[in-house]
Amino acid sequence: MEAAAAIIGLLFVLFVLAGVFVTVKAVKAAKRGVDRTVAQARRTVEDTTLRARQLAQPGVVGELAQLRLSLRTSMRATQEVLHAGSPDDASLREAIGLFERLSAHGHELDDELKRLEREPDRATIAARLPDLRERLERITHSAESLRWAARDRARKFAEDDLASLSDQIDVEAGALRHWTRVEDAADPLRDPVQGRPESAAPGGTKNPTGGRPAEGPARAGAADGPSDAAARSWGPTPEDPPAITARDPRTQPSYPWQKAPRTEDTTT
């Protein structure tokens, strides 16, 4: 009795621990989802604010907003391309490491541009703009190089896979059409039917060399009646294509692009 109570208590404790574990995992997943949503909403608001500032405030402030918007757009596009291709291509992991180092410089530049937006001395900002623009061009150029290299790599892999798949489909299509071989005497897979020699004609006609008429199978074939000849002509010949059994449409798998069979066809 005490052993049964101990087992029940142990099972209860295990169920409680499992419930706590599942609850903690669910809370963490929900928190990550909320954080992603908040971060995405914050980025959208900041991008919209920068676009509005770029159009509404021409001059130094508008140019700063344009620089920040260009930096954020280029870095975000590169990050999406690298992270989207990394699960399928392990070679992109090193590129992701380089991009993270580049992102540190991008965040530093973005923070500096953000501080200059609150700077009241417009002359100082205008004097520093060429240097800031050069740094932006170097960062965005590096980001674009990584992004386009990853895209070219993915496209090359897709082209190679498509070429290999096309070759396999051509081979399979030729195997499925095995009955449509070209009827050529040079085809080693074809067994041509040879015609009867004229010397084997019925009636004992002499051959062109002046010898005796053909004996054996030729004369036996001539002695056969018309019914036997007709039976032989109706039978399969070596060059006849093999019969193909029609498939039952009721047993065919259905695909999304196929129409459903009509009811009257299946009932009949």
- Per-residue pLDDT tens for 27-55? 888 877 877 787 777 778 777 878 887 78
Average pLDDT of the residues in 109-136:
88
Sign of CA dihedral 245, 176, 172, 189: positive
Write out the two tokens for 207: 């051959």
List, for residues 215-246, the tens digit of each pLDDT value. Answer: 444 444 444 454 454 444 444 555 555 554 55
The pLDDT score that the predictor gives to residue 44 is 80
C-alpha–C-alpha distance, residues 179 and 237, integer Å? 14
Please report, as a single letter, which amino acid is at residue 267.
T
Cβ(199)–Cβ(207) below 8 Å: yes
Neighbour tally for 112: CB within 10 Å: 14
The pLDDT score that the predictor gives to residue 103 is 93
The pLDDT score that the predictor gives to residue 261 is 55
Write out the two tokens for 38: 């908040």
The pLDDT score that the predictor gives to residue 74 is 92
The overall pTM is greater than 0.85: no
C-alpha–C-alpha distance, residues 134 and 128, integer Å? 10
